[in-house]
Chains A and B, each alone.
Chain A
Amino acid sequence: MNHLIDVRSLEKTYQNQTILASISFSVNKGEIAAILGPSGCGKTTLLRCLAGLEPISAGDILLKNERVNNVETEHRPIVLMFQEPFLFPHMTVLENVMFGLKQQKLSKKSRVQQGLEMLDKTEMSSYKDTFPHALSGGQQQRVALARALVMKPALLLLDEPFSSLDQYLRDTLRDWVCALLKQEGVTTLLVTHDKEEAMMIGDRVILLKDGNIQQQGKPNEVYQFPENENVEGMFSDGLQLGGTFIPSQYLQIASQDEQTVDKVVSQGTISSFFFKYGLCFYQVKLKEHNVKLILHSKQEFKEGSKVLIMSNMNK
């Protein structure tokens, strides 16, 4: 077994309310696992439990095959990075990065050396003597990452680290962080509510809803073969029809008078359209299901036109 962390039947209740119910998963060494779920599903609580910031109600957390349930936060080789950078405002960038090393009682020379090396990797070395307030949001998040990575944690927990940034910065920083984590070989558990982010960064995704794991696996497998309606709604794109899920890649829009060999699975009205990645996407309001479906089509449709939804899944 190459599992770095093994979470077994973890439960967390607070004031008689179940936040996490029997959560079990594992993450291999060097792997990045993305935990995806809607707001309030318990994903941040899960990270806090793993970091030791919240006591767990039942279950076990095994780190390198050792039970760490009762190990205090400061003694767990786990570092949690939050949505916001939380840099200490009265310390310079370098002092912030060296903070954790100081707790490890390393010599000042060693701390400075390791701190500067990490700042170099995070492309922030020219700001070493700057105070956090003088940095932009993205730069602050880089410093926070440097502060976490310099600890060489066995497990890095990232709690929606890009959510406080604007779209452009988020995209840029996400790719850069992903590359850095891979380069450093850091085992990472990333919490996000953005499914694209989960797919892009995660070697594996763990889908959480109402305190329960709905499905876990490789992103493409989960996307194509969702195991329940929750996963279909959260992670996949497609149409749920009487117990059968048809992924979007098997669906097409056709005009009502179109002759086709594909099976008609539904009917609807084009409610709007938009362009993305050079393609035109149509939002179709389905007649009998009262749901909206977004599908790409090369054919041109006008808003309000009646269309058929065709499936070629069993071809």
Chain B
Amino acid sequence: MKSLKTKRPYFYILPALLFISLFIGYGIFRAGVESLGSNGSMFVHYTALLSSEEVYKTVRISLYVTVTSTLLSILIGLGITRLLYRFFTSVKWKYIVWVPIIIPHFVAAYLVFILFSQSGLLSTVLHGVNGFGLPFPLVNDQGYIGVILTYIWKEVPFVVLMLLPIYQQIDQRFEDVVRTLGGNTWQVWKTVELPWVGPVLLETGLIIFAFVIAAYEVPALLGVTYPKMFSVLVYEWFYEGSWENRPLAQALMIVLTVVMVISSLIIITISKRWKKQWAKEKIK
């Protein structure tokens, strides 16, 4: 009976496991098989990736866009959350901050395009004012500013959504304890807020990072033709007339998947350990 009881949770998650292994697992498996070379070296496509200047630049621009978007979203989201939970606890219209969540990424990218492109609304208004328009391109620019802006606009509400309930759980008297023992705002953040929200910040950061680095529509619409972000390059390699680059596309996606899975495992382990101490306090 006891073994049946301990096995029951696994039984319940069986449908989910089947779904994941069938649709995601099989997809990754096929991609993995297709990424391997048939003749000579098995990892010929992987070595080709390593020696490709284009891939190197793609990795660089993808990491730059992803890290920047993730960090800025986290920082701005954190700031807004601290403001919301302190000053607007009873104000219902605080939920307006979550409106961007319901707008699809493609629509968000299009809005950024309409607003910030060289022929966009902002440029037109500025042209009317100073006769020059935008001083530098924000959309389809080498710096991927339009892409980063779109992700920040979309992900900040997500960060707030994740953090607000956590902040509302913090017992404010911990802050009072820190202050009465001589601690300043930084100490309050370090001693009370960070240990409490840190794990969620890490997990939220991981979700945003994983999404942004592999997302297609925003860089496709607002990015530049060279260097391309991961998904745009992979899409191009996958669907171009010749099938020559398909194994390369699969190999690049497999590398990305492996890196993300390993990073996720590390971050989730850290986050779990971090949560443990405060969870013990809560249980008491």
Contacts and interface: CB of A to CB of B under 8 A. Distances in A.
A133 B284 contact: yes
Main secondary structure on B side of the interface with A? helix
Contact of B173 (A86, A88, A100): A86
B181 interface: yes
A53 B179 contact: yes
Interface stretch (B1-9, B100-108, B273-281): B273-281
Interface string A51-62: 111000000000
Contact of B281 (A72, A74, A75, A89): A89
Contacts, number: 68
Given A73-B179, A74-B182, A78-B180, A99 B284 contact: no
Interface string B167-198: 00001011011111111100100011001000
A89 B280 contact: yes
B176 A133 contact: no
B181 A132 contact: no
Contacts of B187: 103
A53 B176 contact: yes
A133 B180 contact: no
A48 B192 CA distance: 19
A51 B195 CA distance: 25
A103 B183 contact: yes
Contact of A86 (B174, B182, B280): B174
Interface in A202-246: none
A143 B198 CA distance: 26
Nearest to B284: A133
A99 B191 contact: yes
Given A88-B191, A90-B195, A99-B191, A53 B180 contact: yes
A183 to B, nearest CB: 22
Interface residues of B, number: 22
A74 B182 CA distance: 4
Interface string A33-52: 00000000000000010011
A90 B278 CA distance: 7
A10 interface: no
Nearest to B281: A89
A26 B178 CA distance: 26
A104 interface: yes
A189 interface: no
B277 A79 contact: no
A88 B179 CA distance: 13
A103 B185 CA distance: 12
A117 to B, nearest CB: 17
Contacts of B192: 88
Contact of A132 (B179, B180, B281): B281
B281 A147 contact: no
A131 interface: yes
A273 interface: no
Given A147-B181, A151-B182, 14 more contacts: A72-B179, A73-B180, A74-B183, A78-B180, A82-B176, A86-B171, A86-B173, A88-B192, A89-B277, A89-B280, A99-B183, A100-B181, A103-B184, A151-B181
27 contacts: A52-B179, A53-B176, A53-B179, A53-B180, A74-B180, A74-B183, A82-B176, A88-B191, A88-B195, A89-B195, A90-B195, A90-B277, A90-B278, A99-B178, A99-B183, A99-B191, A100-B182, A100-B183, A103-B181, A103-B183, A103-B187, A104-B182, A131-B277, A132-B281, A133-B280, A133-B281, A147-B181
For the complex of A and B, the 6 pairs showing the least CB-CB separation, nearest first, are: A103-B182, A89-B281, A100-B181, A133-B280, A90-B277, A73-B179
Interface of A: 48, 51-53, 72-75, 78-80, 82, 84, 86, 88-90, 99-100, 103-104, 131-133, 147-148, 151
Interface of B: 171, 173-174, 176-184, 187, 191-192, 195, 277-278, 280-281, 283-284
